Homo-oligomer: A and B are copies of this chain.
């Protein structure tokens, strides 16, 4: 590429500013433009008010070569994007015959008559090129004014996506001569961002100039993203793979996967590869661990099931945890989870059994065992491994972190066996 192409995304709609809907459009468009090597400079959301829309168009046009606009193209009065585009470009609405024909056929197929209101969806600014919307009434519109391309699209996600996939991206590629770019993600667990960055500091500093590294932490894990730009896609992919091969030995114990892999998927793959099956015995996680494991399509190949023993009685009756253990050590104890893991493995006939018992909170803590005290266990035919976690006061977080800790324990055991 000769020049970095900058884009901006503008989403229009009061419902976005009121927080009534999650804007997923801008994330999807960002990810797609990123694949084309186009850099997003800014994403903005503004209300359905002409003056706000005019302002953001004008500001964005000073920063970007490409502006993608979604929303505000409905036929009702509160949708003003089309009229505002006319004001902005100093032009007027004209009838578009192709859109009109599409509307007539669309309504004919649906067995409805085309109302005057809906007919007006065929009115478009005189200076636009129409991008047909096969799935709806509001057409996409392409403007090229003063070396800036504006694409206006409906806000309904599947209509917007289809217009871009059917017509938009090809037109963008042709118009801007887009560069070669690649992203890879290394996914780690059980290590903090700062420790990770200390371990790989030397490698990071030695990365070639056309590559960059970002740390993306989220609850319990840190993702490392490597981004590269180049001339040739295959060569760039190979160069990034080479860098990954260099850094992996430094952090391999913490790497569970790459790119779109989730921990539950990675553990599922490991179980399959090792011909192992698994069962879970859950107390404080209350089914969340089972849910993570079964959220992976095809998990029935290695996941047999779970006993969720939310009451001590169930731990005794369904998992044969001796009531002596529960009274002597308590339900939240190493002895209890050890027994739960062993028993669920035997009862469900799997290679591996795992268990969790703890105080998820917000109540139920004691001085000796405060909220966030959680025991986890792993059992296979050879051994039992237990860990004590000391987590936070937040129930939701404790449940999630415990489930991830168990998955990571399984991963470590399978990798070291």
Contacts and interface: CB of A to CB of B under 8 A. Distances in A.
Contact of A21 (B19, B110, B216, B289): B216
A139 interface: no
Given A16-B43, A34-B18, A310 B318 contact: no
Nearest to A308: B306
Contact of A40 (B18, B118, B310): B18
A303 interface: yes
Given A43-B17, A117-B194, A288-B287, A156 B218 contact: yes
Contacts of A173: none
A44 to B, nearest CB: 5
Interface stretch (A23-31, A232-240, A265-273, A378-386): A23-31
Given A42-B44, A76-B193, A135-B392, A214 B20 contact: yes
A126 B239 CA distance: 44
A46 B317 CA distance: 56
A352 B186 CA distance: 46
Contacts of A309: 305
Contacts of A396: 158, 295
B304 A314 contact: yes
Contacts of A23: 23, 27
18 contacts: A16-B30, A17-B39, A17-B43, A19-B30, A20-B214, A21-B27, A21-B216, A44-B45, A74-B217, A75-B193, A75-B194, A286-B290, A287-B294, A297-B361, A297-B362, A300-B310, A305-B307, A318-B348
B304 A307 contact: no
A396 to B, nearest CB: 7
Contacts of A297: 361-363, 395
A264 to B, nearest CB: 11
Count class of interface residues, chain A: 35 or more
Identify the interface centre among A19, A183, A214: most chain B CB within 10 Å of its CB: A19
A59 B390 CA distance: 44
- The binding surface of chain A is classed by DSSP as mixed
Interface of A: 14-24, 26-34, 39-48, 52, 56, 59, 74-78, 109-111, 115, 117-118, 135, 156, 158, 183, 185, 192-195, 197-198, 213-219, 225, 227, 280, 282, 286-291, 293-295, 297-300, 303-311, 313-314, 317-318, 347-349, 361-363, 390, 392, 394-397, 399
Copies of this protein in the assembly total 2
Contact of A219 (B27, B156, B290, B306): B156
A46 B42 contact: yes
A33 B309 CA distance: 41
Nearest to A347: B318
A214 B115 contact: no
A217 to B, nearest CB: 6
A135 B400 CA distance: 15
Contacts of A59: 59
A390 B109 contact: yes
B399 A295 contact: yes
A18 B39 CA distance: 8
Nearest to A44: B44
Given A197-B76, A347-B318, A158 B16 contact: no
